[in-house]
Chains A and B, each alone.
Chain A
């Protein structure tokens, strides 16, 4: 594994405290990984090139690339797309949870959002930021300048997950805020009543926006590594129950699968990209989802 790629690992990226660097390292690691992957073509596109097609301006041909690949590529293609993206962060208290005392779900989401923001800014795509709990708490209008990235990262760094989330109200509010067709990237653990969440997602989708739902669980929530008797407390509602970890593990994991599968099925129906993640997973899976989504719109 190359030096850059290691930053795709959450346990490595958490060592980097500066969010801008985190975003940079994640993206560089991701791109380095793409060079060695079957998705190599993406990296070319990332390098602001695209295949020459008849009718393109010949002066745009990158001869250096031609020299290396014996194929024609034109530069400056990015101006042709103008996808407005919104990074929508869930600020509910449950997002601040980490079992292994490494990255919280929120930090994982922030890192991922930062990386995506970094990527989009570098692709000249305007990116905005919205953070919500019971309602939209913070928002930053989309922009594609280099300074926008700093604003986004600054705002992300200030955010703290606390309180309860009201997905339906908040996402309805978000839907109302978006003027044009946009790509809405939601970062949430979705630990709330699923029905209102579904309705809110449908509302966004039916407003014409593309939606990528990054469903982030803590590694412990996804894999339940406990044993023995446990007193479990919901940090959002304060509810406490006692369980025998060994006895319920299988059932719990089954429930998690059902939980994810339910959202996945709903998302497929609504043509929403659903990306199940947990805090122990490398970031490339999430980024790849973004790219696939972007390519579909390309």
Chain B
């Protein structure tokens, strides 16, 4: 706890404690001369009581000195725990304002958004600092280095503030403001954070940036005061809100099938809610459904499009919650864009059904003939591969799963397939003959040579970290997949030598290659992916073919990777057309597309931007778009040939699921005693007084002085008590009126 004085100069009055001593030494009254024959009686008594008297006198002297010192100290208005040296409103201030402009700040309370409330508060704060102050204001959307503004300019800056869909954690903005305020030479330094304290606006795991500057300012007081931080909490404790948390297509939209759109509606808060969810396709309402939501509950809604949507076009779906006013609007709608593509054909070749069924199940969970699905699967044996000599080019991908051996004809077919731009996935297993796989024709196809099966000691190994997290197979969920790989047991694998021209995408934990890729350039890029451990498992680990638990249903990574593999091999990875605000949008272009110009139009339809066209074969990248809704992209090719694409941009989910920062989280961000939290105007006033003035201990000092005066009186009265008797001589007195000790 820190101790300081509001009027340090007055504390010099503590030197008055020396007054009794000075009085005693220099202003001793001239004694009256009196003839007194009974002197011997005094002398006798003095002999007895000299020591006692001395102690009493010292006690009285000490009490009186302490009394004067405390009085001086009390006048200096000492305080504890103070952050800044002055409490006067006229002190020039380096004022930092950090605005949370995240979507949750659009919450309506008493017909005002939380951001509007934040603006009001900021204006009040600005009204209490002199014009000679400098204001450093930032928002969480663009936490750049702030420049010092006059209070008047800062007001205009605040007027222009708006809620933004994409924001960085406030920890970053704090760093910018702390640095600017610390460099400012104004004598008082305060930083106010105006936020609804939504956890989604903070990185609660790490401290705010710039705290080192705050510490430095605390240590060196020469250039100004310490930096006080006030977190101004806006918004109610409990929020009532209904949001659409998800709008997804459970399956790829394949030609000829109705597309199902699934939505998840959630009620936040303590009240039940009744809402209507409306379904829009291409801007036209196609249906609606009513939902009853329990407090904190959710409901799923499903809508279907007409069956024959145009192939090759981007179709736009919007789910919208209506039926009652909602305090938070941005999450009342969610957008989905999708393309209808022909169903991709996949051929699975294996010696045993057990080796192909996991892949088949991952790609087509519903094996019923005619069931809706994104792929047309076909399973066959290696001996029958020759049958596909003419039709193999129609298959987007071929899976060769734990096949013992292929004849030269079979390898020849696959070689031709990949060189023509087809895709091949090889899953090695216990049945594979290295001699066959390392043969001359196979060697032209496969990305590596088989050396020997390896059984890591003990419980085996696991998959290691993804070597290339930007690879289309992994880039979307690389962190999550990494986490699953780290615990996924692998009992055996083939040691593989990857020649130059191949690249390892994934290793085992012991460093051996787990997934190797080889590309074949041509009009279309052919790709071969070789897993050095099977894409199948066995129920019993003791079985010969039980090499890993990758396809175990406990891990969702397997179906995800398998479903990403087909579009990747087919050269159409850009079919996902739903993104979160702030995320880079990658749109796959047709392999033969050679756009010369790309025009992009936002959801409002008003602004059209031109962006650089991608290289041939590369996806089109739209860097971090922000406006929520349906975006349109037009690629202009030679001869003004236009290809229209599109994507949907939704708000980050965390903005809807309001979870407040707890005190412990703020302690992590600012340090335990590094901030003051204020909820309303009254609390803000109190907190401001506290950080400016501190805990005044004046009343306590006065109380102490009172006790001391009482004690001094008691001592004096006791020590100089008049003897009982008839003596009635004027002039006896006690306490301070008496001469110094």
Contacts and interface: CB of A to CB of B under 8 A. Distances in A.
Interface of A: 93-94, 97, 99, 189, 191, 217-218, 220-221, 223-237, 239, 241-244, 246-256, 259
Which of A217, A218, A231 has most chain B Cβ within 10 Å? A231
B720 interface: yes
A256 B45 CA distance: 10
B58 to A, nearest CB: 13
Q: Enumerate the 5 nearest inter-chain pairs by beta-carbon distance, A residue then B residue, closest first.
A: A94-B37, A225-B729, A229-B31, A253-B723, A234-B39
A259 B567 CA distance: 123
A248 B34 contact: no
Interface of B: 28-46, 48-49, 53, 56-57, 719-723, 725-727, 729, 731-733, 738-739
Given A97-B37, A225-B729, A247-B57, A252 B721 contact: no
Given A229-B29, A255-B42, A250 B721 contact: yes
Which of B39, B727, B738, B739 has most chain A Cβ within 10 Å? B39
A221 B42 contact: no
A225 B35 CA distance: 13
Contacts of B36: 97, 220-221, 230, 232-234
A229 B37 contact: no
Contact of B32 (A93, A217, A230, A256): A230
B739 A243 contact: no
Nearest to A246: B720
B42 A241 contact: yes
Contacts of B39: 232-234, 237, 239, 241
A242 B33 CA distance: 9
Nearest to B740: A244
Contacts of B42: 232, 241, 243, 248, 252, 255
A234 B40 contact: yes
Contacts of A243: 42, 46
Nearest to B37: A94
B41 A252 contact: yes
Given A229-B29, A253-B723, A246 B35 contact: no
Nearest to A256: B41
A256 B37 CA distance: 13
Given A217-B38, A249-B723, A250-B722, A244 B739 contact: yes
23 contacts: A191-B37, A191-B38, A221-B38, A221-B41, A223-B726, A224-B723, A226-B729, A229-B32, A230-B31, A230-B32, A234-B40, A235-B35, A235-B37, A236-B37, A242-B31, A246-B739, A247-B720, A250-B721, A251-B45, A251-B49, A253-B723, A255-B41, A255-B44
Given A232-B42, A234-B40, A255-B41, A97 B35 contact: yes
B739 A229 contact: yes
A223 B41 contact: no
A10 B727 CA distance: 17
B260 to A, nearest CB: 104
Contacts of B725: 223, 253
Contacts of A252: 41-42, 45
Contacts of B739: 228-229, 244, 246
A254 to B, nearest CB: 7
A246 B733 CA distance: 8
Contact of A246 (B28, B34, B45, B738): B738
A279 to B, nearest CB: 12
B46 A231 contact: no
Contact of B723 (A231, A233, A254): A254
Contacts of B719: 247
Given A249-B720, A250-B723, A253-B725, A241 B34 contact: no
Contacts of A232: 34-36, 39, 42
A244 B720 CA distance: 10
B41 A259 contact: yes
A220 B46 CA distance: 18
A189 B37 CA distance: 9
B726 to A, nearest CB: 7
A237 B39 CA distance: 10
B717 to A, nearest CB: 11
Nearest to B720: A246
A187 B33 CA distance: 28
A297 to B, nearest CB: 33
Which of A220, A246, A253 has most chain B Cβ within 10 Å? A246
A229 to B, nearest CB: 4
A97 B37 CA distance: 7
A135 to B, nearest CB: 20
A191 B53 CA distance: 25
Nearest to B724: A253
B723 to A, nearest CB: 4
Nearest to A237: B39
B252 to A, nearest CB: 106
Contact of B30 (A224, A229, A241): A229
A251 B51 CA distance: 13
Contacts of B57: 247
A255 B48 CA distance: 10
B60 to A, nearest CB: 10
A24 B43 CA distance: 40
Given A217-B38, A230-B36, A250-B723, 11 more contacts: A97-B37, A218-B38, A221-B37, A225-B727, A226-B729, A230-B31, A231-B31, A246-B738, A247-B720, A248-B46, A251-B46
Nearest to B30: A229
B738 A256 contact: no
A7 B31 CA distance: 37
A246 B730 CA distance: 12
A243 B50 CA distance: 11
Contacts of A189: 37-38
Contacts of B41: 221, 252, 255-256, 259
Which of B31, B32, B732 has most chain A Cβ within 10 Å? B31
Contacts of B733: 227, 246
B34 A231 contact: yes
A248 B45 contact: yes
Nearest to A239: B39
A223 B727 contact: yes
Nearest to A280: B726
A227 B729 contact: yes
Contacts of B32: 226, 228-231
A112 B261 CA distance: 133
Contacts of A230: 31-34, 36
Which of B35, B36, B43, B53 has most chain A Cβ within 10 Å? B36
A200 to B, nearest CB: 18
Nearest to A259: B41
